[in-house]
């Protein structure tokens, strides 16, 4: 039985991309039965030399690398050629094609893919946070959040939470209802991360009537009555004053517009804290 082939995966970042490509190719040969030895975060020529010494000792070996730092790539190519070692650059052909076609030079910074992955996972985490702490379900989210939204029902708290979550902000929202005492956590968070949402009585009446209609309920329900709406808005205003948070009127505003205003206000608030 022949010796098992070895592929040394070398990268100035984690090396996941190179390993994935090597595994994909290896499946086309003997079912992918190879020995992959990953060498991550190479940062000087000594690291590359160590890999080449090992590769030279094994005739059944290949070096597959994703190195974007120019002087390290040049060193790898030169020394591999001198030692008669097969070293394959997995990125350069495509990078050259990008550079020629789009007429832009590469950043030549290792780890940018990892940064994109981290950004993606932060977004997912923020979305999961917004779902978990929507509508005041768990007051512990108030303390852990980046932004806390408070307001009466139908002031776009949930859509705003989800929109901001896609921008990687962890958002908790708390409904203000006269019959329900607000959680104490609400009065213990910095005002710099809390925003109150208000709306005109007429607009709220219109929205709530449409909501009742969608649910198949009568528009005469107390939920949509002017008396109830005025009571709720008055109560919400008192809570917002007690919290001391900035307030935004969401009447006739798109979610994107309100979200932009929220971020502008919080940036301004935090610059003074």
- What pLDDT does 18 receive? 86
* Predicted local distance difference test score (pLDDT) of residue 149: 98
Q: What's the mean pLDDT in 60-75?
A: 90
pLDDT in tens, 130-186: 999 999 989 999 999 999 999 999 999 999 999 999 999 999 999 999 999 999 999
Least confident of 30-34, 205-209, 224-228, 259-263: 30-34
Residue 114 has pLDDT above 70, yes or no: no
Distance CA 170, CA 1 (A): 57
Whether residue 116 is predicted with pLDDT greater than 60 in this model: the reply is: no
- pLDDT of 1 above 50: no
Comparing 4 with 189, which gets the higher pLDDT?
189
DSSP 132-161: HTGGGS-THHHHH-SEEEEESTTSSHHHHH
Split at pLDDT 50, 70, 90, the class of 86 is very high
Mean pLDDT of all residues in 103-112 = 69
Average pLDDT over residues 65-75: 90
By percentage, how much of the chain surpasses pLDDT 70? Answer: 91
Q: Is pLDDT above 80 for 188?
A: yes
- Give the pLDDT score at 195: 97
If pLDDT is split at 50, 70 and 90, which confidence band does 78 have?
very high
- Residue 153 has which token pair? 């029902």
pLDDT at position 113: 55
What is the pLDDT of the chain when averaged over all its residues?
A: 89
The reported pLDDT for the residue numbered 131 is 92
* 38, 51 Cβ separation under 8 angstroms: no
pLDDT of residue 123: 86
Backbone region of residue 38 per phi and psi (left: phi > 0; alpha: psi in -120 to 50; beta: other values): beta
Phi, psi values for residue 35, rounded to 5°: -105, 110
Query: How buried is 246 (Cβ within 10 angstroms: 0-12 exposed, 13-18 middle, 19+ buried)?
Result: middle
pLDDT at 16 over 60: yes
74-79 long-range contacts, CB within 8 A, separation 24+: 75/45, 75/48, 76/10, 76/48, 79/48, 79/49, 79/52
% of the chain with per-residue pLDDT over 90? 61
């Amino acid at each position: 039985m022949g010796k098992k082939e070895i592929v040394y995966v070398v990268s100035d970042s984690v090396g996941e991309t190179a390993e994935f490509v090597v595994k994909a190719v290896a499946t086309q040969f003997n079912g992918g039965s190879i020995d992959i030895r990953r060498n991550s975060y190479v940062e000087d020529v000594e690291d590359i030399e160590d890999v080449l010494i090992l590769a030279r000792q094994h005739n059944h070996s290949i070096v597959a690398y994703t190195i974007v730092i120019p002087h390290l790539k040049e060193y790898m190519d030169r020394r591999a050629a001198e030692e008669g070692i097969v070293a394959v650059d997995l990125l350069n052909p495509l990078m050259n094609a990008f550079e020629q076609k789009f007429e832009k030079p590469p950043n030549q910074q290792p780890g940018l893919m990892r940064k994109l992955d981290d950004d993606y996972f932060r977004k997912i985490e923020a979305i999961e946070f917004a779902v978990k702490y929507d509508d005041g379900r768990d007051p512990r989210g108030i303390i852990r959040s980046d932004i806390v939204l408070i307001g009466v029902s139908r002031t776009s708290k949930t859509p705003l939470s989800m929109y901001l979550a896609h921008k990687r902000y962890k958002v908790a929202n708390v409904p203000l209802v006269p019959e329900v005492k607000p959680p104490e956590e609400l009065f213990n968070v910095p005002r710099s991360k809390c925003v109150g949402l208000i709306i005109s009585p007429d607009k709220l009446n219109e929205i709530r009537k449409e909501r009742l209609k969608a649910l198949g309920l009568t528009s005469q329900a107390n939920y949509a009555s002017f008396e109830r709406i005025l009571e709720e808005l008055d109560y919400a205003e008192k809570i917002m004053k007690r919290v001391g948070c900035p307030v935004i009127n969401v009447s006739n505003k798109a979610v994107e517009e309100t979200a932009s205003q929220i971020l502008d206000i919080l940036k301004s608030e935090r610059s003074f804290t």
